[in-house]
Structure 1
Amino acid sequence: MESGTTSNNFLRTLIAEDLRSQKVTQIVTRFPPEPNGYLHIGHAKSISVNFGLAEEFGGICRLRFDDTNPEKESQEFIESIQADVAWLGYRWEGPVRFASSYFDTLYGWAEHLVEQGKAYVDDLSADQAREYRGNLTEPGRNSPYRDRSVDENLDLLRRMRAGEFADGERVLRAKIDMAHPNMNLRDPILYRIRKAHHHQTGDAWPIYPTYDFAHGQEDAIEGVTHSICTLEFEDHRPLYDWFIANLPVESQPRQYEFGRLNTSYTVTSKRKLKQLVDEGVVDSWDDPRMPTVAGMRRRGYTPAAIRHFCEMVGTSRSDGVVDVAMLEHAIRDDLNQHAPRAMCVLNPLKLILRNVSDEHPPIVAPAHPSKPELGERALPFSGELFIDAEDFREEANKKFKRLVLGKRVRLRNAYVIEAVDVQKDAAGEIVAVVADLIEGTLGNDPEDGIKPKGVIHWVEASSAVPATVRLYDRLFTDPAPDRGGADFMSFLNPQALRVVEGALLEPGAAAAAPETRFQFEREGYFVADRFDHREDAPVFNQTIGLRDVWAAKA
């Protein structure tokens, strides 16, 4: 997509009409994650929709944690989510909000429903409640406790609030319709007893509201105009509207659903991502193999590329699967435009230039071939260099466009050379290539019209910095690793991570700050690890290759 263009987004059309008709005068959206895991690529889409639309129409977007399930939540997740949203380039309006900040109000509204005869305390066990609920083809049955009096229900609810009952002993349910074709309206649970320590409220509450009961009311308290969520909440919208209609809320938000973002070769279930972490398949939630925002950041993906990808795929009313190659293309395209160049030799082989002295001045090369504003870099140069062993053959056919005995290639940003001999160890392995530098060939336009077969990268021997380089590939070998009942773990890619120790890096790249991205010329795009990289012990993660190798395999 060209800069300045917009993709198909039905929400954009809807909001524009709401503003034109004065149905609303200012757009208020919110991003409401549950703090029970790290955000992933699907959440990045939701972030871009909620924050992006608010930005576009001069509105505001708030960050709110729907923290109604303390047993699965933690401060770690809260902090990581805030960091991810900020890293993607978005700023929320006002302070960070929490569902738990509204617990007193929500509980008061629960009592209001009881007083109106629209909620009751139920003693059915979980198994009994499932039996009474019915299924998609059979209506449910009323609980035997459904017709308790208002006074009895209020007494029981207040005793639940006081912590008198055990976990799971009772619940508060809305009194709607046990025969309703929408299962979500069959007397849904509003409160359950859960004597769990809460990361925000401590031990103040032995009961917690359900997400369905809390969510819409939080929107109303915050004056949200467009409550935008993914398509799995479409069947919950009638319940959302029922609560808004039956409670003394401060505003009337509307819920709108869009198709969630799913990408091929990826799993985004929090349970499955947690399994990858817990079983040691990956090192952490921010492992560069993970589809989490933190993982993509550590992999070297850019916020601009992720945002562009989310806009590029559009926002529709139906779910679908986007080829992950589209995301990879967005990353590759952004890095090609903005990442400075450097050279790193992954599999070093010594190159001896027999007609070059060690006093040779540095080679001056551009930091980026088409961005002079990024400046230049000085590359030390001498009679001993290192090239990649894959770039040399004693003999080769015409398809091999690199260094061969008796043939010429160009050293990237430097001279044309001709290989004349090899040095071998006692086992017959090549330990060095001997070559001659061709005078007058510095730069890309040789004076004598010499046309070498190819171009290879290199580093100067005495100044090169040993580095650890992590080479990454897709985590799964199957485009739909969690389809149906398949065991997604059986599709793990054994080549998803390869660690190269002893790679040699040009000194300027080694000195770069963590999270600095480079194109390692002829190798791909890499980033200095945000945690492990040091100038004296560089660690670089591969972000993406120079081309789509998976397309070639297909």
Structure 2
Amino acid sequence: MQNLKNKNTSFIHKIIENFFKKNKKKTLHTRFPPDPNGYLHIGHAKSLCINFGLAQQYHGKCNLRFDDTNPNIQHNKYITKIKKDILWLGFKWNKKTKYSSTYFNKIYKYAIELIKKNLAYVDKLKKHEIRSYRGTLTKPGTNSPYRNQTIEENLLLFKNMMLGNFSEGTVCLRAKINMQSPCIIMRDPILYRIKFVKHNKTKKKWCIYPTYDFAHCISDAIENITHSLCTLEFQDNQKLYNWILKNITIINHPKQYEYSRLNLEYCTLSKRKIKILITNNIIKKWDDPRLPTIAGLRKRGYTASSIRNFCHKLGITKQNNLIQMSSLESCIRKELNITTYRTMSILEPIKIVICNMYHKFQEKINVLNHPKNSQLGTQNIIFSNILYIEKTDFQEKPKKKYYRLTLGKTIKLKYSYILTAHSIKKNHNNKITKIFCTFHKVQNNKKYSIIHWISIQDTIPAEFRIYNYLFTTKTPSTKKNLLSHINPESKIKKFGFINKNIIKNLEIYRYQFERIGYFITDKKTYNKKKIIFHQIVTLKENWNK
């Protein structure tokens, strides 16, 4: 979507501008119609930015309407989560929340109207027979043997459907359009089906439910929607959308327009496939930080503004593209670079012992919380004779072009002094447990490699959760066996230390751990004995991918 502050150049903006030229007194009215069968994801965020953003830009309205045409007792659970995500992203819907089920009485009457016009019939073909009769892209469909029933017969059959006198799956109501149509969706699509399932809103009042295609356009018309915006996979559905509204006595005829859906590499945005991941214990919940759900991104530390900015950068086009993950990551990285406090942490600690320093010696070093923003204040860090550094910042037998600490080499501790390693201690497994060093207070003009550190007297233990891509392939949704492409290193736990200063700033949750990346405190598990940090994003693109 175009940034609202910039010139409007997308094809949707041009459509709306032309709409106002012809209808000067009308108000733009859009809607966001999620199916409450799962959490919202980054693709929904794009739709939210388009529908709510355009309504805001043109001083119009945007409805939140849940498409609850498929009865499910879990609707309430998802409705609550969806509302939370929308509000968190910074959007507010027009008046009260709406539901397709509110219009079931009216939709039922419009179905009867189509039957009376001989434009709908009750079909007794089984599901597999309907699919077979429908034909293929290269083969036209065949008329159902029940297509030519009289209007009276169809009215009676439909009434019996409504009364629950048929078993589930034995009959359905179909539109009578054209079984020879090159557009498969126009080959007598199903309008109503039987489901003996308790509905979240209507309870047991109905045992027949309209399909999405039948209910959606009618709901739009009832709500006076002017522009029904959806993704390109509904392009063929537009023909049915228009056919239904044309053939029932409803005043308003909204127009449907399609734009490209969001496809993000290394992700699946399919709710069905996310449920497969949960069922197979690949992830536990919809808010797993490795998922591109709004809840998952929020838990990982993404801000609402970074997600909105990402959606604005994408633009509104009809061209389907696979969007690089780095595009999303750059939005949050750019924001955090400006707003987050800097501090030092050690994810994989190894101990440094400074031999030429009195063991009780301590020195306080005052450093800025942000190198380019003095208004964020300063913090004191402690320098002492025992420190922790990252295990990767020392190599006993250094590889070529290794510029960090090794025996006989001198480096600089960030914000502090020059350090030279002269010996090491190993355990019975031949692993290094201590590095013995000498520090030098005298500074010179020579340039040294810089590493970060924490004094043992200035630490609190912490758990760090490092996230990589959940899948090993850029396009997991295209693979037949989704589970065979799971990245075994998509979540890595490390146990190290953070600076005590973090405890003093409980209201701050996002930090840049210097030389490592951006992290957020897990609010649910936070206490002084156990602190968990989720990695938001690395400092540089694909640093640990």
For Structure 1 versus Structure 2, the TM-score category normalised by the shorter chain is over 0.9
Letter in structure 2 aligned against 1:527: I
**Residue 489 in structure 1 maps to residue 490 in structure 2:** no
* CA distances 1:81-107 after superposition (whole Å, capped 9, x unpaired): 222222222221212211111112211
* DSSP-derived class of the 1:419 partner: strand
**Residue 476 in structure 1 maps to residue 471 in structure 2:** yes
Provide the C-alpha distance between the structure 2 equivalents of 1:505 and 1:370, rounded to a whole number of angstroms.
Answer: 22
Q: 1:370 aligns with which of 366, 369, 372?
A: 372
Of 354-363 and 193-202, the range deviating more from structure 2: 354-363
Provide the C-alpha distance between the structure 2 equivalents of 1:394 and 1:487, rounded to a whole number of angstroms.
Answer: 44
Change (3 A) 1:514 1:231: farther
Correspondence for 1:323: 324
Letter in structure 2 aligned against 1:277: I
Offset, 1:379:
2.3
Offset, 1:382:
2.9
* CA distances 1:150-205 after superposition (whole Å, capped 9, x unpaired): 33322222222222221112211222222222222222111111011112222121
Correspondence for 1:444: none
Change (3 A) 1:169 1:454: same
Conservation of the 8 A alpha-carbon contact between 2:4 and 2:57: no
Change (3 A) 1:383 1:422: same
* DSSP-derived class of the 1:349 partner: strand
Provide the C-alpha distance between the structure 1 equivalents of 2:522 and 2:9, rounded to a whole number of angstroms.
Answer: 36
Offset, 1:210:
0.2
Conservation of the 8 A alpha-carbon contact between 1:510 and 1:538: no
* DSSP-derived class of the 2:384 partner: coil
What is the 5 A alignment of 1:439-450?
A: 439=441, 448-450=443-445
Q: Number of matched residues?
A: 543
Correspondence for 1:416: 418
Letter in structure 2 aligned against 1:404: T
* CA distances 1:369-404 after superposition (whole Å, capped 9, x unpaired): 222232222323333221112212356477333223
**Residue 549 in structure 1 maps to residue 542 in structure 2:** yes
Offset, 1:108:
1.9
Structure 2 unaligned segments of length 5 or more: list them. Answer: none
Change (3 A) 1:23 1:151: farther
Letter in structure 2 aligned against 1:478: T
What is the 5 A alignment of 1:121-200?
A: 121-200=122-201
Letter in structure 2 aligned against 1:367: N
Change (3 A) 1:450 1:142: same
Q: 1:402 aligns with which of 388, 401, 404?
A: 404
Conservation of the 8 A alpha-carbon contact between 1:463 and 1:507: yes
* DSSP-derived class of the 2:333 partner: helix
Change (3 A) 1:3 1:108: closer
Correspondence for 2:262: 261
Correspondence for 1:529: 522
Change (3 A) 1:512 1:33: farther
Conservation of the 8 A alpha-carbon contact between 1:84 and 1:293: yes
Of 281-290 and 125-134, the range deviating more from structure 2: 125-134
* CA distances 1:77-132 after superposition (whole Å, capped 9, x unpaired): 22222222222222212122111111122112222222333222222221222233
Provide the C-alpha distance between the structure 2 equivalents of 1:63 and 1:320, rounded to a whole number of angstroms.
Answer: 27
Correspondence for 1:19: 20
What is the 5 A alignment of 1:508-519?
A: 508-510=501-503, 516-519=509-512
Provide the C-alpha distance between the structure 2 equivalents of 1:379 and 1:98, rounded to a whole number of angstroms.
Answer: 56
Provide the C-alpha distance between the structure 2 equivalents of 1:112 and 1:3, rounded to a whole number of angstroms.
Answer: 43
Correspondence for 2:434: 432
Offset, 1:356:
5.5
Change (3 A) 1:3 1:506: farther
RMSD (Å) for aligned C-alpha atoms: 2.6
Provide the C-alpha distance between the structure 2 equivalents of 1:280 and 1:217, rounded to a whole number of angstroms.
Answer: 40
Change (3 A) 1:452 1:429: farther
* DSSP-derived class of the 1:47 partner: helix
Change (3 A) 1:93 1:530: farther
**Residue 67 in structure 1 maps to residue 89 in structure 2:** no
TM-score by length of 1: 0.91
Change (3 A) 1:500 1:236: same
Provide the C-alpha distance between the structure 2 equivalents of 1:315 and 1:14, rounded to a whole number of angstroms.
Answer: 12
**Identical positions, percent:** 40
Change (3 A) 1:266 1:426: closer
Of 534-543 and 124-133, the range deviating more from structure 2: 124-133
What is the 5 A alignment of 1:238-387?
A: 238-353=239-354, 354-355=356-357, 358=360, 360-387=362-389
Of 110-119 and 248-257, the range deviating more from structure 2: 110-119
* DSSP-derived class of the 1:393 partner: coil
* CA distances 1:461-504 after superposition (whole Å, capped 9, x unpaired): 13311111111111122222333x54232222121111113x11
Of 407-416 and 462-471, the range deviating more from structure 2: 407-416
* DSSP-derived class of the 2:457 partner: coil
Change (3 A) 1:214 1:25: same
Change (3 A) 1:3 1:206: closer
Conservation of the 8 A alpha-carbon contact between 1:365 and 1:378: yes
* DSSP-derived class of the 1:368 partner: coil
Provide the C-alpha distance between the structure 2 equivalents of 1:341 and 1:190, rounded to a whole number of angstroms.
Answer: 58
Conservation of the 8 A alpha-carbon contact between 1:265 and 1:480: yes
Change (3 A) 1:250 1:466: farther
Change (3 A) 1:70 1:395: same
Correspondence for 1:443: none
